[in-house]
Amino acid sequence: MDGMLKTSRVKSLTFSIGTFCLLLINYATIQKMAQNSVTSQLRGSTNGSTGRGLALKESVAVHKAVNKRPAMHTFFEPVKGGCCGMTEEGHTNLVEAWKLAWQSYGWEIRVLNEADALTHPYFDLFQNLLIDAQVNEYDRRCFWRWLAMANQPDGGWMADYDNFPLTLTAEMGLEMQKEPGFKTWQNHVPSLLQADKESWDRIIGHMMNFISPNLDVKIISDMQLLLYLHTHLSEKELGISVWENKVHTGFPYVRGGTGTGPKIDCSVASSFLTAHLSHRDSHMAMEELHIYPKVHGMSAHEHAEKRADAALFMMKDFRNQCLTTTLLYS
């Protein structure tokens, strides 16, 4: 899949890869934050953390901070011509930004695609169920990612490619994945998941048991079906060990004062694992909340198309304004 993401396809990114490397988070300090305890960071202690950024190390040091790096997977199988308010190039740009962001937190990254799902023994049966239920092409791809993850030898982590790290370092990931079972950190929204292979397959089996044209949901998507399963089956039946909301929906920003743009809210951003910059939340940030990061040269109607640029601005703001000595070493 990475071979498909050619340089020419990502030329519209405002930040070049070289520029973004200069913005990579000092992973040694992030690692220290994780060591202070996963629990305290999820609760978001800020201790007066606004305004004192830390010096960066060379980007190469980022990848040496953890001896054994966990892998963060995402799934990307482009829809020809684009979809969901974005061009195909816009989606590709977002994947590239996602890769850079997670690498900067010490993770190994893997971009899965249709080929990774095709070899799952249930692929054809699952696909026929989706077609019979008139699930659209985009949502079928969302279901494919479950099969692709179940095909990984040990299961593992999966994040949407519009979900960007805030406090979730590779070292935290290694600790959090020790707990067995199926884990979701945005409740029924499958934007940040972790499970062993058996747990991925268990959820897939339950999905297949319920998918039908007559299923009582507004639309058959993996998100709605996961909610349906959680409503109608017990967490024990589903093998769920974590069902929490530790993912921030949208940009963790507040409106700026007169003459200034939106500002990142460090107390909020520091209390979440990631920020899920969905199409819907990006639209709200631009049109209703007026907290969309200021991307140079971007018009208002490009809020979805330019999410890659906005995400990298968010990463830069979080690094410069929220990662302080007080926050990390208190």
Whether the Cβ atoms of residue 286 and residue 292 lie closer than 8 Å to each other: yes
Q: Give the pLDDT mean for 45-49.
A: 29
Whether the Cβ atoms of residue 318 and residue 51 lie closer than 8 Å to each other: no
Q: Give me the chain's average pLDDT, please.
A: 82
Measured distance CA(43)–CA(270) in Å, rounded: 9
Measured distance CA(261)–CA(189) in Å, rounded: 30
Whether the Cβ atoms of residue 271 and residue 42 lie closer than 8 Å to each other: yes
Q: Give the pLDDT mean for 261-280.
A: 95
Measured distance CA(185)–CA(164) in Å, rounded: 13
- Among residues 303, 269, 310, 271, the alpha carbon closest in space to that of 286 is found at 303
Residue 41 has pLDDT above 70, yes or no: no
Among the residue ranges 153-167, 209-223, 285-299, the one predicted with the least confidence is 285-299
Residues linked to residue 129 through DSSP beta bridges, in sequence order: none
Residue 308: phi and psi, rounded to 5, are -60, -45
Matching residue, tokens 């990579």: 24
Residue 266 has pLDDT above 90, yes or no: yes
Residue 260 has pLDDT above 50, yes or no: yes
Q: Give the pLDDT mean for 234-259.
A: 94
Report helix, strand or coil for 171.
helix
Among the residue ranges 67-71, 182-186, 235-239, 261-265, the one predicted with the least confidence is 67-71
Residue 276 has pLDDT above 50, yes or no: yes
Percent of the chain whose pLDDT exceeds 90: 65
Query: 6-30 as b/e, with b when 16 or more CB fall inside 10 Å?
Result: eeebbeebbbeeeebbebbbbbebb
Better pLDDT: 168 or 13: 168
Residue 65 has pLDDT above 70, yes or no: no
Structure tokens given for 93: 């740009």
Amino acid at 292: Y
Residue 28 has pLDDT above 70, yes or no: no
Question: Is the dihedral angle over the CA atoms 134, 140, 143, 144 positive or is it negative?
Answer: positive
Measured distance CA(39)–CA(302) in Å, rounded: 37
- Most confident of the ranges 25-34, 60-69, 85-94: 85-94
Residue 45 has pLDDT above 60, yes or no: no
Structure tokens given for 242: 């974590």
Residue 79 has pLDDT above 90, yes or no: no
Residue 69 has pLDDT above 70, yes or no: yes
Whether the Cβ atoms of residue 22 and residue 58 lie closer than 8 Å to each other: no
The number of helix segments (H) and strand segments (E) in the chain equals 16, 11
Better pLDDT: 30 or 171: 171
Strands 71-75 and 108-112: parallel
Task: Compute the radius of gyration of the chain from its Cα atoms.
Answer: 19
Q: How confident is the model at residue 78 (pLDDT cuts 50, 70, 90)?
A: confident
Structure tokens given for 68: 């054994």
Strands 253-254 and 182-184: unpaired
What pLDDT was estimated at residue 85? 72
What pLDDT was estimated at residue 82? 66
Whether the Cβ atoms of residue 327 and residue 49 lie closer than 8 Å to each other: yes
Distance of CA 113 to the CA centre of its chain: 16
With residue 183 as reference, give the H or E element that holds it: strand 182-184
- Most confident of the ranges 42-51, 60-69, 118-127, 316-325: 118-127
Better pLDDT: 184 or 260: 184
Q: Give the pLDDT mean for 62-84.
A: 75
Among the residue ranges 126-130, 186-190, 252-256, the one predicted with the least confidence is 252-256
End-to-end CA, the chain:
42
Quote the pTM value: 0.80
